[in-house]
Amino acid sequence: MAKQIFLAVLACSLAACQGGRTATPEHSSTYQPLPLGPDAPFVERVDHDAELDNCVLYIGTMGIPDPLQVDFLPDIGGPLLDLVSPPPADFPEQIYLRTDTETFNRKYQFVLHEGNVWYKHNTAVTGVEDDWTQVYMPNCLAGTLIGISADDDELIAIRKNGDIYGLDNVLKDPLLFNWTSRWGTPVWLGTGYHIQEDYLSWSWTVISNSEDKNWTDTAGNLHRVGDGKVSHIWMLRNGGQRYGYIDPWLAKDESYEACGPLRGRFKGINLNSSGSTLITINRYGDIFTRHYDFDLAGVNEVFFQYAFEDQSEVRNPKIQLPSFEWVQQPKVPGQITHIISIHKVGENMQHRVMRIEGLNQAGETGYWEKEVEEMTTAAWQFVATGNPLRGTLLDNRPGDTSMLDIGDNEDQHFARNLTALPALNPADSLETDADWAAEMTDFNFYCSPTTLRIHTSVDEHMDLTLHVVDVIRQTPRERGLDDNPRKFRGNIEIPDALLAMRDELSPRQRAFIDLYLDGDKFTDVRMSGVSDSITLTPSGRMNGFSWTFERTPNGEAEMAP
């Protein structure tokens, strides 16, 4: 018993414990499937007004670089193995699907029960058979959780009031498990944060050098993942159209997002994530996946170099941009529910396994499984579990139904000098900014690219491509563009088809390309915007320019008669 007491005291100090408890609390977070509807969340939502005791856990190892796999040592066992009550009889022997109450990594499984976290080995992977044991929790935290999500060596827990807590070292001996409430700048040492109340679902994703080693970019090049990992909480919001993420290393705000499928018009009802890969599904069973994180998408130019120029044959390549787009997966050939799951396997971001709860043709319950990179319907294989279905059955009709239930996008129209367009003389030379006009026909801050239409006369235009990339910030701001100027980056691309017909372009069009783009296929620009205007300036060029585009009323171009 002395050993157990010593381990308990050590675990308590690691967790900045304020008096542990394992008693069953009044709050219960038993999963109850909700009716299927356009705004129906399938997870329990937080309530910012929930009355809970203050629980500040500033000490903890989360965020400390972890460059090596150190889970090769034998397990000593849970610090409170002999001090907790036995698990409920209905706990599963094996967890197959990662949800907000059941989750796993390659070593352990975790269950959330009545506000507390339990764990056991992931028997299907490790072969170790053991009993469920309750994770030791600080007194102020025990019994107050409504959601968990594990990936890699970290588990995120959400409290009833939305506060975020992290459990670190969940690939190591349970003796090293430790809690923290730290979140945000500087370098994951912030005073904590919370998730918003309007999500349909949420999920935690981690990619690390110790587990994944490298990213694989769109050019097929490997790039070493930093020792600090890349960790996000993803949230599906705005009726299923917004895919926002918060990051413990960044400013505590809601300003970072990834454009959803179909340029933000897709209405997802659920999401899941692992190893910088997202999966989402709509009410008709259309499934999309995407590799995405802050570093891979080009946002972290403080620590990484990026390039839009082709890096496939470069000796020391930069991370290739643009990054990955959404991929529509083959439909599951059978009945499925809304419960989707994805988990990473192996290194270099190359293996991600999807699982969808459902039934086979014989009516057996279980899940459909395939790897993300396998793009045939035949790749879906059914695994029977005999477990009762927990999700809501979807209308998984055959064929592409992704457009059956779509929303509006946030595309906007911006223009410069359009009122002068009728006066532009195609016979004159193009020498200054006054000699041409331009439009951003479908600018959407989160959904790059946009068409940059250059008018060199009233009857002549050429379409360039404007890529938009967010930048790293350490101070909070609102999402999108508002009255607070937002800095970001861009790149103007001359499409291959336009380059191929360069000799057929008019003298004024060729003059524009030479004057502003030096004839190059890609031109980096710096951008700054508010809700009604966006300014572009060149990045690292001697022949500078400054173009300001104004948002047009009702999204329509206005030209002088």
| Count of positions (residues) in the chain | 561
Strand extents, DSSP E, 140-185:
145-151, 154-159, 164-168, 178-180
Identify whether 559 is part of a domain: no
Count how many domains the chain has: 2
Q: What is the pLDDT of residue 554?
A: 63
User: 266 in a domain, yes or no?
Assistant: yes
Q: Is the domain of 526 the same as that of 468?
A: yes
* Residues 539 and 477 grouped into a single domain: yes
The span from the CA of 520 to the CA of 493, in Å, is 8
- Name the 3-class secondary structure at 381: strand
| Claim to verify: residue 181 and residue 314 sit in the same structural domain | yes
90 falls within a domain = no
CA–CA dist 434, 420 (Å, integer): 8
Contacts of 515 (CB under 8 A, 6+ apart): 430, 431, 543
Q: In what order do the strands lie in the sheet containing 257-258?
A: 201-207, 230-237, 242-246, 257-258
The predicted pLDDT at position 10 comes to: 34
Q: Which two tokens stand for residue 202?
A: 């949420």
For residue 484, give the DSSP letter: S
DSSP 301: T
Question: Is the residue at 308 inside a domain?
Answer: yes
242 lies in the same domain as 132 = yes
Helix (H) or strand (E) holding 223: strand 222-224
Residues 139 and 270 in one domain: yes
> Which of 384, 403, 420 finishes a domain?
384
Q: Are residues 267 and 372 in the same domain?
A: yes
Report DSSP state, residue 507. H
Report pTM: 0.90
Residue 128: strand, helix, or coil = coil
Phi, psi (deg, nearest 5) at residue 4: -65, -40
Same structural domain for residues 375 and 421? no
Instruction: For residues 342 and 462, state if they share a domain.
Output: no
Is-cis flag, bond preceding 449, omega within 30?
yes
Tell whether 340 and 447 lie within a shared domain. Answer: no
- Domain identity same for 307 and 430: no
Is 79 a domain residue?
Answer: no
Does any domain span residue 376?
yes
- Phi and psi torsions of 94, nearest 5°: -140, 135
267 conformational bin, left if phi > 0, alpha if psi -120 to 50, beta if neither: beta
- Is residue 513 one of the residues assigned to a domain? yes
pLDDT tens, the chain, 561 aa long: 333 332 333 334 333 433 333 333 333 333 333 454 444 567 889 999 999 999 999 999 999 887 555 555 555 444 444 455 688 888 999 999 999 999 999 999 999 999 999 999 999 999 999 999 999 999 999 999 999 999 999 999 999 999 999 999 999 999 999 999 999 999 899 999 999 999 999 999 999 999 999 999 999 999 999 999 999 999 999 989 999 999 999 999 999 999 999 999 999 999 999 999 999 999 999 999 999 999 999 999 999 999 999 999 999 999 999 999 999 999 999 999 999 999 999 999 999 999 999 999 999 999 999 999 999 999 999 999 999 999 999 999 999 999 999 999 999 999 999 999 998 888 888 999 999 999 999 999 999 999 999 999 999 999 999 999 999 999 999 999 999 999 999 999 999 999 999 999 999 999 999 999 999 999 999 999 999 999 999 987 656 789 999 999 765 545 444
Within 10 angstroms of residue 81's Cβ, the number of other Cβ atoms is: 16
**Measured distance CA(443)–CA(300) in Å, rounded:** 22
Across the strands, what pairs with 235? 202, 244
> Could you tell me the CA-to-CA distances from 118 to 115, 237, 377 in Å, in that order?
10, 29, 36
Contacts of 143 (CB under 8 A, 6+ apart): 21, 23, 24, 25, 26, 27, 114, 115, 116
**Residue 524, strand partner residues:** 491
Residue range(s) defining the domain that contains residue 458: 412-551
CATH number of the domain bearing residue 288: 2.120.10
241 touches 382 (CB < 8 A)? no
Buried-exposed string 525-554: b where 16+ CB fall within 10 A, e elsewhere:
bbbebeeeebbbebeeeeeeeebebebbee
Of the residues 369, 384, 399, which one is the last residue of a structural domain?
384
**CA 446 and chain centroid, separation:** 13
pLDDT for 66-88, tens place per residue? Answer: 755 555 555 544 444 445 568 88
Strands 116-121 and 270-274, bridge-based pairing: unpaired
Residues 438 and 365 in one domain: no
In this predicted model, what pLDDT tens digit does every residue of 486-521 receive, in sequence order? Answer: 999 999 999 999 999 999 999 999 999 999 999 999
| Structural domain contains residue 507 | yes
* Domain co-membership, 342 together with 221: yes
